Amino acid sequence: METRPDPKAPASDVTYGSYLKLDELLACQAPMSGVHDEMLFVVIHQASELWMKLCLHELEAARTAIIEDRLGTAFKMMSRVARIQTQLIQSWEVLATITPADYSAMRAGLGSSSGFQSHQYRALEFMLGNKSAAMVELHVATPGVHALLADALVRPSLYDEALRLLARRGFAIPDDRLDRDFSQPYKASPEVETAWREVYRNPETWWDLYELAEKLVDLEYHFQLWRFGHLKTIERIIGFKRGTGGTAGVPYLARVIDQIFFPELLTVRLAL
């Protein structure tokens, strides 16, 4: 259970360390191999999980703001996430300083663990629309995580709510895009592209929707850069070996780069 500072405690009792729970936080790094570079490996991944926690916090609020037609609020949160994604992208530059020999020396200590198992990463993908029931079942042995992902799987994504907003503004969005099985990946629609084309051709009339579209494109752009950075870092450190936990490694990462979250926001550019 998450604990927070007691709001009734005297201000004089709250210190930098107690507010941030630094004793607990700094005790979380426990390298297992004795290899010097494992500390870097642990810190990068733990920091990434904290950044992803913040991304989910912001995007949950942004989705609610879109539902309530408070787009200015949503834009603030989406812009913040894009800046957080920049931090995540830059982290690959630091991780890439691990050499193949360093990684090989500590790899056995990682056991079957793999970034593929990160439930927060999976929740982020679900938020952006890349749904997969199979990825939920990977966490069946962890009931709390499984329930969290099962709920995220069936909820409308950020893009689903953007399309519902377009419909509320009078655009002809097909019913099968507004009320569907949201556990399934989104499929592109010519009618949705037509709606976005109207927005892009008349930004003065639909400025907030135009800005919403560009905020979504910005999120996808940075997410793809993050994926590409992951690919190139793994390629640099282990080449084409299989990843930990039995994952395919570089070939798998190369495939997911081709996944698109908001297809009409890319294809509409061909029609302008």
Higher pLDDT, 255 or 41: 41
Model confidence at 258: pLDDT above 60 = yes
Quick one: pLDDT at residue 8? 64
Is 142 within any annotated ligand binding site? no
Quick one: pLDDT at residue 21? 96
Is 44 within any annotated ligand binding site? yes
How do residues 180-210 score in pLDDT, each as one tens digit?
A: 999 999 999 999 999 999 999 999 999 999 9
Is 223 within any annotated ligand binding site? no
The pair of three-digit structure tokens given for residue 224, joined into one six-digit string: 């793809």
CA-CA distances (angstroms) from residue 35 to 30, 133, 148, 229, 238? 12, 37, 35, 24, 17
Report the candidate in 194, 167, 193, 188 with the shortest Cα–Cα distance to residue 178: 167
Task: In whole angstroms, give the CA distance from residue 34 to residue 109.
Answer: 9
Task: In whole angstroms, give the CA distance from residue 82 to residue 167.
Answer: 26
pLDDT class of 3 with cuts at 50, 70, 90: low
Higher pLDDT, 271 or 132: 132
pLDDT class of 85 with cuts at 50, 70, 90: very high
Is 42 within any annotated ligand binding site? yes
For helices 71-95 and 38-67, give the axis angle rounded to 10 degrees: 170
Is 200 within any annotated ligand binding site? no
Quick one: pLDDT at residue 259? 83
How do residues 113-146 score in pLDDT, each as one tens digit?
A: 777 789 999 999 999 999 999 999 999 999 999 9
Quick one: pLDDT at residue 2? 53
| Average pLDDT over the chain, rounded to an integer | 90
Quick one: pLDDT at residue 246? 52
Quick one: pLDDT at residue 252? 59
- Alpha helices (H) in 96-189, listed in sequence order: 100-107, 119-128, 133-137, 143-154, 158-168, 175-178
Higher pLDDT, 99 or 263: 263
